[in-house]
Amino acid sequence: MADLLIFGVLWVVFSVLGELGVSAWGHNFYYYTASTQALDGLSASVFLFRFLTPIFVFVVLMLIFIPLRARRRSRDSVVRGKGARFNATYVTIWVTLSLAVNLLFFVHPTTSAAEQMFKEMSPQAEQHDLVVDVVARQWQWFFSYPQYGIQNALNANGNNVLYLPVNRPVEFVLRSYDPNHPYAVGLDVIHSFWIPAFGEKMDVIPGETRYMVATPTKIASTETNPEVRVQCAEVCGPGHPYMYATVHIVSDAAFKQWVKQQLKAGN
């Protein structure tokens, strides 16, 4: 009984310390967040860590505590007999709690997050979205804005660039260079569209059109934070590490001004 009491006290103390650590540093689980989707992912991560901290402490403490307290010392007499006993109550509680925890995580954040994603991509939610067509090719990204007549967004140096207005949902229409696409000249490979600050990515596969929705929440750019960039996250050949594009998240007024500049430049 004394060992049980000591174990319980240690478990509570270290669990509380772990929870304080999660509360203090949980916002760093995602290095930088600049979209509502990244904030949702961060919230899910903090929820999992907070819930799993007492379980982790219990398992680790048990692995350390039991060998230390139950070890045989040199002065102890050797008792012959069964070396192990089956505790049905302990096993039943452990299996039941494990099943309950797994079911909980299946419901939230897994199912709840999926429901939120489907809701964001529903026809009703997309009525006011900015649509950006994204085409991946070894080893470049091409961005077009069909709602504004911009066929290929370029910066002053002639490099591909992605401009997004803050607080406006964006629907990315993702394609890998494909003979069936009007911009295509040949068959390309699998790429992966990833903006680290948005906390999500999507594979870009030849012959398929895929969609990803994000809502930027901060005015930022690649120059101010490297997490705000488009990066290929699928090994696609020797130029893969350099397959990135700069991103600018700007105010609505600045975005409209940029659109005028792009149209004037004939992009």
Name the pTM for this structure. Answer: 0.77
**pLDDT, greater one: 115 or 264:** 264
* Distance between CA atoms of residues 208 and 200, nearest Å: 19
Q: Which fold has domain 130-265?
A: Immunoglobulin-like (2.60.40)
Q: DSSP secondary-structure letter at 108?
A: I
User: Hey, what long-range contacts does 99-108 have (CB within 8 A, 24 or more apart)?
Assistant: 101/51, 101/55, 104/51, 105/48, 105/51, 108/47
Q: Range with the lowest mean pLDDT among 45-54, 101-110, 175-184, 231-240?
A: 175-184
Q: In this structure, are residues 121 and 213 in contact, taking their beta carbons and an 8 Å threshold?
A: yes
Residue 225: pLDDT band by 50, 70, 90 thresholds? very high
Is 71's pLDDT higher than 80?
no
Q: In this structure, are residues 34 and 227 in contact, taking their beta carbons and an 8 Å threshold?
A: yes
- φ, ψ for residue 194 (rounded to 5)? -145, 125
